[in-house]
Copies of this chain bind each other. A is one copy, B any other.
Amino acid sequence: MSGFNNNWYTEIFAASGSAFGLQVTKKLDEVQSPFQKIEMYETTHFGNLMVIDDVIMLSSRDNFLYHEMLSHPVLFTHAKPKNVVIIGGGDCGTLREVLKHPNIEQVTQIDIDEQVTRMAEKYFPELCQSNNDPRATLAFADGIKFMREAAPESIDVIIVDSTDPIGPGEGLFNCAFYDSCRKALRQGGILVQQSESPLIHMPLLKAMRDAMQDAGFAALQTLLFPQMVYPSGWWTCTLARKDGEFTGFREADAAAASFNTHYYNVDIHKAASAWPNFMKVALQK
Contacts and interface: CB of A to CB of B under 8 A. Distances in A.
B234 A263 contact: no
Contacts of A278: 262-263
Contacts of A276: 262-265, 268
A237 interface: no
B263 A274 contact: no
A187 to B, nearest CB: 30
23 contacts: A8-B19, A16-B45, A17-B23, A17-B46, A18-B20, A18-B22, A18-B45, A18-B228, A19-B21, A21-B21, A226-B226, A226-B232, A226-B233, A226-B234, A228-B233, A228-B234, A234-B234, A262-B276, A263-B278, A265-B276, A268-B277, A271-B271, A271-B272
Interface string A255-279: 0000011111101101111111110
**A interface, by DSSP: helix, strand, loop or mixed?**
mixed
Contact of A277 (B19, B20, B233, B263): B263
Interface of A: 8, 10, 12, 16-23, 43-46, 62, 199-200, 224, 226, 228, 232-234, 260-265, 267-268, 270-278, 280
Contacts of A46: 16-18
Contacts of A226: 199, 224, 226, 232-234
- How many copies of the polypeptide does the oligomer hold? 2
Contacts of A18: 20-23, 45-46, 228
A200 B46 CA distance: 10
A38 to B, nearest CB: 22
Contacts of A23: 17-19
A267 B271 CA distance: 8
Contacts of A233: 226, 228, 232-234
A260 B199 CA distance: 18
Given A17-B43, A19-B10, A45-B18, A62 B275 contact: no
Residue from A263, A276, A278, A280 with most neighbouring chain B CB atoms (10 Å): A276
Nearest to A199: B228
B274 A270 contact: yes
A166 B210 CA distance: 47
Which of A19, A62, A233, A274: most chain B Cβ within 10 A? A233
A100 to B, nearest CB: 13
Contacts of A275: 267-268
A273 B267 CA distance: 9
